[in-house]
Amino acid sequence: ETASLAEMRVNYGRFLDAVLPAAEAAGVRLALHPDDPPVPAIGGVARLFTSPEDLAWAMERSNGSPAWGMDLCLGTVSEMVGGPDAVHRAIDLLGPSGRIFYVHLRQVQGTVPRFAECFIGEGSYSPAAVIRQLIAVGFDGFLLDDHVPHMSGDTPYGHRARAHAIGYMQGLLAAIEGEG
């Protein structure tokens, strides 16, 4: 059986109506991850969060609940139509209202349907420009490394590739901090 976008939006709204009041009462924040990969449907089921505008719709549908926000996965958002522009639009749409709870710092080359994971600094958006934009919109959450490319001779967890990601992030933050 397939589910249309309209049906999935109704279901998401029902979920929010049921869960957000309980999350608010418990002091819990729920972070939405965009659909990965951001394609219109998988297996005949519509995907809801495949563009910055879809993320803005989800924020609006949360009716201002302080429990609703985003795990802004930069890799997934940069896979969306528009690539780097989608990343900047998502930050502009969600950041000023404090709806970016945390950020997955991950990079890809290309957009759907043809993209490949790559090391931070090799992808389609500028990590430094994104960090500066996050600071400009008042982001005060945390950054996480996310998926990393597989490397020959690395562990199944990707310790070497993760070391690169974390080192890149630390260097980037130190350089930007030094600008201020």
Alpha-carbon distances of 5 from 30, 102, 156, rounded to whole Å? 22, 27, 36
Sole residue written with tokens 């900047």 = 88
pLDDT of 102-154, one tens digit each? 999 999 999 999 999 999 999 999 999 999 999 999 999 999 999 899 999 99
pLDDT of 17-33, one tens digit each? 999 999 999 999 999 99
Phi, psi for residue 150 in degrees, rounded to 5 = -80, 135
**Cα 6 to Cα 9: distance, rounded to the nearest angstrom:** 5
pLDDT attached to residue 180: 67
Alpha-carbon distances of 63 from 10, 16, 60, 69, 169, rounded to whole Å? 14, 9, 6, 11, 34
Rg of the chain in Å (alpha carbons): 17
**Cα 143 to Cα 62: distance, rounded to the nearest angstrom:** 24
pLDDT of 20-68, one tens digit each? 999 999 999 999 999 999 999 999 899 999 999 999 999 999 999 999 9
pLDDT of 64-97, one tens digit each? 999 999 999 999 999 999 999 999 999 999 999 9
- How many Cβ atoms from other residues are within 10 Å of residue 115's Cβ? 20
State if pTM tops 0.75: yes
Say whether pLDDT at 1 is over 70.
no
Report residue 42 as tokens.
């998988």
Q: pLDDT tier at 179 (50, 70, 90 boundaries)?
A: confident
- How many Cβ atoms from other residues are within 10 Å of residue 164's Cβ? 17
**Cα 160 to Cα 157: distance, rounded to the nearest angstrom:** 9
Q: Are 78 and 122 in contact (CB under 8 A)?
A: no
